[in-house]
């Protein structure tokens, strides 16, 4: 029986962080990263596929872009798992119906870890973990969208984001090495909708409204164990990855010929976020549920994220941005140690294009971005005696992340 409980305990380690959509945490395109995500109203590049599909049909040139992104994290406590490493990005935007007054555009964006499409880690249930970090950030993100300009001052767009998921079945015969000892893993995908509209009432002003739907990974793992003549069935269930419903509003004002400023606000429904730790059910020989352990509430809340950016579009293109992302989870006074802090991000991006000539209408551009995010220091304090808990009696946490990207693009 101890062996059986050990196996179930190992399955408890399948929890990971909750919210880490890579398009959100890393940003898309040099301008999306360089503006700290203040891209809802800006007509910029292929990244409109994810930020606001309604912006695609305002683009003037087809484009293809590729980037190398590197992320470095330094967080405390040292035992809290964080995500670092390299990512690759490919994006495109093309006119599929190049009507002079009512064009229709297609956009696509792929962001993936350089080492693979999807990563999963294992660690104890009570280990401190940042809800916006960890290996769940290291997954493929694919976005596609269509956009059409209905009127000279109004466009709409819609598409989807695809994120991979994982499922598994575990069969163990602890009394027979030649018995049914197997683990079957199925990697699938989950789609979430993206929709947006862009309004330009006057030439200098552009407004945007964007909706992004919920995305999640439900991990349901049946565990069938045979040990010392005892047959046990367990089921481990966890919504280990979660991106909430989001509604954003953006406004961009072009106050001079080459200069503009943007301000965005996005509501994120994190109050519906579940605890990523698994719920575990044990069943008797008749298939009836004999025991069930359910994790406590994550104590999360809805937040509004604010971001702003200043842009220059001239012989070179430059952008500077700031974003404030409030802490999603409040104090953790029970068993769980979900860590989150108010986040302040400063970012800058730069692009230089080799202007096309009469012999070649293609413009080749070189771009880069640099960003830094500070997680403000907080202290977690337990209200009960939990000697074996990593957060007992108190735990100070916070830190910073630095991201950089370089790449090139083609406009035609």
Distances in whole angstroms, Cα of residue 93 to Cα of each of 64, 107, 199? 7, 4, 20
Q: Which of 400, 346, 396 minimizes the C-alpha distance to 375?
A: 400
**pLDDT digit string, tens, across residues 56-115:** 999 999 999 999 999 998 888 876 666 678 999 999 999 999 898 999 999 999 999 887
Tokens found for residue 17 = 């962080």
pLDDT for res 125: 59
pLDDT for res 2: 44
pLDDT for res 134: 60
Q: What is the pLDDT along the chain (412 residues), one digit of tens a residue?
A: 444 444 454 444 444 445 567 888 889 999 999 999 999 999 889 999 999 999 999 999 999 999 999 999 888 887 666 667 899 999 999 999 989 899 999 999 999 988 777 766 655 557 788 877 765 567 788 999 999 999 999 999 999 999 887 777 777 776 666 777 787 877 788 899 999 999 999 999 999 999 999 988 777 788 887 776 777 788 887 776 788 999 999 999 999 999 999 999 999 999 998 877 778 888 877 777 778 878 778 889 999 999 999 999 998 999 999 999 999 998 888 888 888 999 999 999 999 999 877 777 899 999 999 999 999 999 999 888 888 888 889 989 999 999 999 999 999 9
3-state helix, strand, coil in the chain (%, to 5): 10, 55, 35
**pLDDT digit string, tens, across residues 129-157:** 887 776 556 778 899 999 999 999 999 99
pLDDT for res 46: 96
**CATH code for the structural domain at 2-411:** 2.40.160.60
Task: Report yes or no: 239 and 274 within 8 Å, Cβ to Cβ.
Answer: yes
* DSSP character at residue 153: T
Q: Which of 377, 298, 236, 293 minimizes the C-alpha distance to 18?
A: 298
Q: CA triplet 367, 82, 278: central angle to 5 degrees? A: 130
pLDDT for res 132: 76
Between CA 125 and CA 128 the distance in angstroms is 9
Domain boundaries, the chain: 2-411
Helix (H, G, I), strand (E, B) or coil at 11: helix
Helix (H) or strand (E) holding 256, with range, is none
pLDDT for res 172: 74
Distances in whole angstroms, Cα of residue 9 to Cα of each of 90, 228, 277, 287? 40, 18, 12, 20
pLDDT for res 15: 45
């Amino acid at each position: 029986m101890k062996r059986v409980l050990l196996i179930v305990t190992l399955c408890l380690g399948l929890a990971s962080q909750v919210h880490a959509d890579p398009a959100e945490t890393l940003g898309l395109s040099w301008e999306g990263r360089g503006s700290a995500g203040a891209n809802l109203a800006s007509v910029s590049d292929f990244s409109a596929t994810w930020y606001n599909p309604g912006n695609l049909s305002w683009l003037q040139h087809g484009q293809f872009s590729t980037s190398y992104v590197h992320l470095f994290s330094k967080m405390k406590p040292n035992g809290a798992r964080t995500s670092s490493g390299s990512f690759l990005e490919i994006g495109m935007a093309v006119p599929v119906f190049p009507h002079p007054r009512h064009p229709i555009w297609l956009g696509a964006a792929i962001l993936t870890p350089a080492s693979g499409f999807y990563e999963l880690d294992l660690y104890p249930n009570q280990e401190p973990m940042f809800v916006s970090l960890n290996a769940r950030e290291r997954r493929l993100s694919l976005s596609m969208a269509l956009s059409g300009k209905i009127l000279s001052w109004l466009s709409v767009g819609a598409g989807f984001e695809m994120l991979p998921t994982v499922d598994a079945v575990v069969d163990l015969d602890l009394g027979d090495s030649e018995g049914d000892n197997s683990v079957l893993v199925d990697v699938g995908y989950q789609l979430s909708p993206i929709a947006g509209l862009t309004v330009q009432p006057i030439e200098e002003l552009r407004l945007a409204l964007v909706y992004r739907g919920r995305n999640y990974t439900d991990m349901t793992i049946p565990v069938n164990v045979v040990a010392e003549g005892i047959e046990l069935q367990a089921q481990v269930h966890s919504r280990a990855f979660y991106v909430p419903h989001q509604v954003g509003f953006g406004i961009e004002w072009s106050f001079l010929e080459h200069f503009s400023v943007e301000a965005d606000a996005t509501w994120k429904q994190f109050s519906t976020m579940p605890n990523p730790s698994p719920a575990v059910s044990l069943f008797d020989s008749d298939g009836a549920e004999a025991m069930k352990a359910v994790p406590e509430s994550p104590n999360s809340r809805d937040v509004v994220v604010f971001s702003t950016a200043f842009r220059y579009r001239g012989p070179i293109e430059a952008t500077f941005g700031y974003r404030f992302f409030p802490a999603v989870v409040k104090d953790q006074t029970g068993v769980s140690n979900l860590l989150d802090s108010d986040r302040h991000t400063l970012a800058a991006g730069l692009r230089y294009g080799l202007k096309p000539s009469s012999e070649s209408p293609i413009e080749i551009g070189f771009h880069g971005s640099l960003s830094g995010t500070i997680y403000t220091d907080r202290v977690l304090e337990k209200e009960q005696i939990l000697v074996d808990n990593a957060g007992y009696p108190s735990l100070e946490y916070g830190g910073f992340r630095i991201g950089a990207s370089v790449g090139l693009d083609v406009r035609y």
